[in-house]
Structure 1
Amino acid sequence: MPLVRKPILPGFNADPSIVRVGKDYYIATSTFEWYPGVQIHHSTDLANWTLITRPLSRASQLDMRGHPDSCGVWAPCLTHDGSRFWLVYTDVKRKDGSFKDTINYIVHAEEILGPWSDPIFANASGFDPSLFHDDDGKKWFVNMIQDHRKRPRMFAGIRLQKFDPVQGRLVGPTTTIFHGTKLDKCEAPHLYKRGGWYYLLTAEGGTEYGHACTLARSRSIHGPYELHPQAYILTSKDARFAELQKAGHGDIVETPDGRTYIVHLCGRPESQARPRCMLGRETAIQEAYWKDDWLYVKDGPAPSLFVDVPGTRDDTHYWAEQRYVFDSTKGLHEDFQWLRTPDTDRIFNIKGGKLQLIGRESVGSWYEQALVARRQTHFSYDAETVVDFSPSDERQFAGLIAYYNRFAFFYLTVTAHSDGQRELLILSSESSYPHGRLDEPLLPPVRIPAQGKMKLSLTIRGKQLQFYYALEGNVELQKIGPVFDASVMSDECGGCQAPGGFTGAFVGLAASDLNGTALTANFDYFTYRPVLDKADRYITFPID
């Protein structure tokens, strides 16, 4: 079989859950505060993947207004019981401090594209739930349990409870079936059954550089569970120079011909000297095999960069320029997401071939901001747009933004002075946690004509970000501002209480009107152009 280079889902596709139905494979990944919730990709060969749906797409399923950064949808689990799809997920309301508020829900659908049901409340006792369909017809809900008395080590084991789909709720007693190992932070449980054994796959060590997949087995679903001879069947915690770091949080799938694979999250630091994963946590795949009724990762436990899968990957689309135009008959392109709100009519619409952003709250608001963006999926790229915006003062601004969260962003805005003179101004916040302040002093603004469209552009080359602009009718772009450190838009320093950043860098369009008058900004197009250079470790490892 052909060798495929990993990751298979590049750029902020964390916590993968995989299921095969016939010849079709589906992977669900976390979306956190980005809306709609949960990304589901499809493949027929494990090599080529296409985003086909985000199932949590209406207010009755998900409303994250007010959720802090890196909260929202955690660790979905996608399964199929022979007749319908099931998706379980956590809606995290709070993650920092003495408590985590984690609400677990279950939705289902006859077809992967939906319609998906309204959510069934499961419990709120932990996060990273999964649903296991036993061969006797019983369904079991499995999730980690948190104990706030053990802070900061609040992980209290893996708990099991029966789910009754007729009653639409969990029933019967709960059983704690596994407490994990000395690596701690036992989470992300998945149950499987094979050859009379129940297998429990968990994640441990936290979702950073000490991450790992732990495997245990039992003859009874209730345990006790015997630990794998290796304990950690997949981890890069002891492989400092492995291309794929942070390996953990996995799920197992078998091909129709009986081959076994494990998908898992990983991170690719832009350098070993300062390990920051600017593309967030991504999804990779490893080949595995069974020996003595135990699963082993081929050439593991450290993840390998290449894998044998049934298909041959076509990277043409990955390296192609993406020019997004706005057509009201087609709606917003599936690459784009926005933050928190299901009420899209209040933040954007498409009219006359333009994307119209309706100025709302400030950039970084946890409630309602007009920000539409796509994932950064390359270490180096160019982005460009043309905006038509007529602000009256400094409290109205719109433009091009590179964004991680409210504490880490770079934003080239069309705005105005208090006297009404229109100008270009860069707003930046480089990990100003916990205050969320703009970097000061602000860079000097550039005065521009009172009317007319503006072309705005940025380039990212590894960790270097540079903004550009051009007046309407001008072809040549001019630099504006200094070279910024783009690597702050990463989990390692993205302005969260350590180690709490879980998402990835985005680039897109934004508009704010702090006067409350909902001034609109019109965008002609948006271009994302991948650039191949030594910083893009999708091809090669950089030398510092």
Structure 2
Amino acid sequence: MCDEGGLIARNPVIRGFAPDPSLVRAGDWYYIATSSFEWFPTIPIHRSRDLAHWEYAGHVSGAVPGNSLAGVPDSGGIWAPSLSFDGATFWMVYAIVRSVGTPYFDLDTYVTTAPDPTGPWSPPRRVPSHGFDPALFHEAGRLWLLNLQTDHRPSGNRFSGITATQLDRTSLTPLSPTHLLLQHERLIEGPKLVHRDGWYHLILAEGGTGFDHGVLTARSRALTGPYELSARPLLTSRDAPSLPLQKAGHAELVETTSGEWFLSHLTGRPLPTPSGPRCTLGRETAVQALEWDTDGWPRLRGGGWHPAETVDVTGARTAGEHDAPASPDNGPHTPVPLTWPWSTLREPPSPTWADTTSRPGWIRLRGRQGPESRWAQSLLAQRLTEHHAVAQVTVEARPVTFTQAAGLMLRYDGEAYLSLDVTWAEPEGEGQRGQQWRGEGRTVLSLVERDETGAREVAVVDVDLAEPITLGVSVEGPEARFWYLRGDTYTPVGPALDASRLSDDHGDRLRFTGTLVGIHARDLVDAAFTADFRDFRLECEELPQRSSRDRYGVS
């Protein structure tokens, strides 16, 4: 937005699940790469000409060798990519983490390059893999790999310091022994390096990625150290729990064409709940204005270290105009593009299970494994970007057994989801005695909620599936209400459910992603059952939504 000729960025600038932003400027464009974890497309990239308005620009295609993250646990996969530009080529370095919640992260670090962030990206090459959150630093033709060192030993410090290794720019093999740059009694990770006025500045994520998160800086006259730590954080919200932007940390600095400085960082917008604050949208991307104090340390412009919701980014504007992305024509006879903002789990969408051509205007999903599988889920989902949202979709399906289902799902991960599915059930009051193989039974809507204690069927509603049925969900802060439409008749399904469990902060297991809503199908026996979907709509608003009745004009 503009303010009396100025330009104001409103944080978060990339809203909904967009963590660990890596910011770089190349010419008149700013680019941000974010973590994708177990989701495809891998490493989404957004671009802007002014730091205030951002658009999706593509992703790093082929980032995962074999294009599969099958078996990777929830919140595993691609952590904290780092994007850099050497004046001619774009570089991306990132870790693929295959174990979560153990001392062994079982990770591989890869580097890929491209002439433009839209690609094509080179096949990834493995480099020394000391830990997650790697970064590259380019200086006078030299290439340095920065990393976190992890120590898996029972007596070791899992986060045992920041390292630097010089790499050959062509072969990516080490040219020097690894240097230990800095250790600290608090958890530090996510190193980035800036060279300014004879100082090498380490920009470090500190305190973990939850509500204790922050940004710490250190500096040295030599790249390999020793480094002096700043006496105060550059950015944090841990001492101000009432701020609307929490978890502020994991920063990267950028200089504008006019010589001003800004930083990107992750943040979360918590919902207040009886169980404490919960960030159902995951960690998001924000920007702040930066200045350098008289002693040569980076500081937030205006003083302090708390993240601001609005930031004057007038000095970040470049010469080009902001380009609005074209909207695809999804008419009734046009194949539905399965591109951004659609995301899929652990593999890209494939016509073998997500078919958009057999029935133009529809998406045909072939059911595969269940919603807790780490291997082959038929799921297409989009990020929630606000705490108030409405999603709906029309589905046509003919399940003939309880192992077949298709519907609408709010999902955080395999232990946290809410799902309204078209499926089959035995005649009312009867147990399972093979009725499905005798052509007996009924078609129903089944509402299921899943948390760390297991799955529960909350409601079952008999429905006639002779015609397509529209399923919907309304998210109002910490609550989700499911419903269906048949003609002009709106019918709630079950009670309001606790959507705050779909968050980074529920439970005691590490969680790093965010809530998505989407369509899915399963067939646990034959992987042959199909369901057709059309007219998927997702509307997200900052303020409370109108009721579903008001929104859709139904009674």
Q: TM-score, normalised by structure 2?
A: 0.89
Alpha-carbon separation, structure 1, partners of 2:312 and 2:292 = 16
Contact 1:45 1:309 in 2 (8 A): yes
Alpha-carbon separation, structure 1, partners of 2:210 and 2:478 = 20
The code of the aligned residue for 2:151 comes to: D
* Corresponding residue to 1:37 among 35, 38, 42: 42
Contact 2:403 2:523 in 1 (8 A): yes
Contact 1:468 1:479 in 2 (8 A): yes
The secondary structure found in structure 1 opposite 2:504 is coil
Residue number in structure 2 paired with 1:411? 419
The code of the aligned residue for 2:377 comes to: Q
Contact 1:59 1:342 in 2 (8 A): no
Residue number in structure 2 paired with 1:477? 490
Alpha-carbon separation, structure 2, partners of 1:198 and 1:322 = 46
Query: Is 1:350 matched with 2:356?
Result: yes
Contact 1:325 1:524 in 2 (8 A): no
Contact 2:384 2:540 in 1 (8 A): no
Contact 1:323 1:528 in 2 (8 A): no
Q: Quickly say closer, same or farther: Cα 1:257–1:244, change in 2 above 3 A.
A: same
The secondary structure found in structure 2 opposite 1:265 is strand
* Corresponding residue to 1:510 among 497, 507, 520: 520
Range with greater deviation from structure 2 (215-224 or 416-425)? 416-425
Residue ranges of structure 1 left out of the alignment (5+ in a row): 537-544
Residue number in structure 2 paired with 1:438? 455
Range with greater deviation from structure 2 (516-525 or 399-408)? 516-525
Residue number in structure 1 paired with 2:259? 258
Residue number in structure 2 paired with 1:539? none
Give the total of aligned pairs: 517
Q: Deviations over 1:406-428 (max 9, x none)?
A: 00000000001243421111121
Alpha-carbon separation, structure 2, partners of 1:342 and 1:327 = 24
Alpha-carbon separation, structure 2, partners of 1:112 and 1:517 = 37
| 1:44-55 alignment runs, 5 A limit | 44-55=49-60
Q: Which runs of 4+ in 1 moved over 4 A?
A: 150-153, 321-330
Query: Is 1:174 matched with 2:178?
Result: yes
Alpha-carbon separation, structure 1, partners of 2:168 and 2:10 = 42
Shift of the alpha carbon at 1:153? Answer: 4.6
Q: Quickly say closer, same or farther: Cα 1:309–1:163, change in 2 above 3 A.
A: same
* Corresponding residue to 1:90 among 64, 88, 95: 95
RMSD (Å), alpha carbons: 2.4
Contact 2:248 2:268 in 1 (8 A): yes
Residue ranges of structure 2 left out of the alignment (5+ in a row): 1-5, 426-435, 547-555
Shift of the alpha carbon at 1:57? Answer: 4.2
Shift of the alpha carbon at 1:328? Answer: 5.8
Shift of the alpha carbon at 1:172? Answer: 2.1
The secondary structure found in structure 1 opposite 2:351 is helix
Q: TM-score, normalised by structure 1?
A: 0.90
Q: Quickly say closer, same or farther: Cα 1:518–1:124, change in 2 above 3 A.
A: farther
Shift of the alpha carbon at 1:174? Answer: 0.5
The code of the aligned residue for 2:54 comes to: W
Residue number in structure 1 paired with 2:242? 241
Alpha-carbon separation, structure 2, partners of 1:525 and 1:332 = 13
Q: Quickly say closer, same or farther: Cα 1:359–1:156, change in 2 above 3 A.
A: same
Residue number in structure 1 paired with 2:231? 229
* Corresponding residue to 2:141 among 137, 140, 152: 137
Q: Quickly say closer, same or farther: Cα 1:303–1:324, change in 2 above 3 A.
A: farther
Q: Deviations over 1:87-115 (max 9, x none)?
A: 01110101112321111100000111110
Residue number in structure 2 paired with 1:492? 505
Contact 2:17 2:513 in 1 (8 A): yes
Range with greater deviation from structure 2 (480-489 or 421-430)? 421-430
Q: Quickly say closer, same or farther: Cα 1:326–1:65, change in 2 above 3 A.
A: farther
Residue number in structure 1 paired with 2:16? 11
| 1:376-455 alignment runs, 5 A limit | 376-417=384-425, 418=436, 419-432=440-453, 437-439=454-456, 442-455=457-470
The code of the aligned residue for 1:412 comes to: L
Residue number in structure 2 paired with 1:199? 201
Give the % identical residues: 36
The secondary structure found in structure 1 opposite 2:73 is coil
From the CA coordinates, give the structure whose radius of gyration is larger.
Answer: 2
* Corresponding residue to 1:339 among 340, 345, 350: 345
The secondary structure found in structure 2 opposite 1:487 is helix
Residue number in structure 1 paired with 2:483? 468
Alpha-carbon separation, structure 2, partners of 1:407 and 1:277 = 16
Shift of the alpha carbon at 1:151? Answer: 6.9
Alpha-carbon separation, structure 2, partners of 1:104 and 1:151 = 25
* Corresponding residue to 1:522 among 509, 532, 536: 532
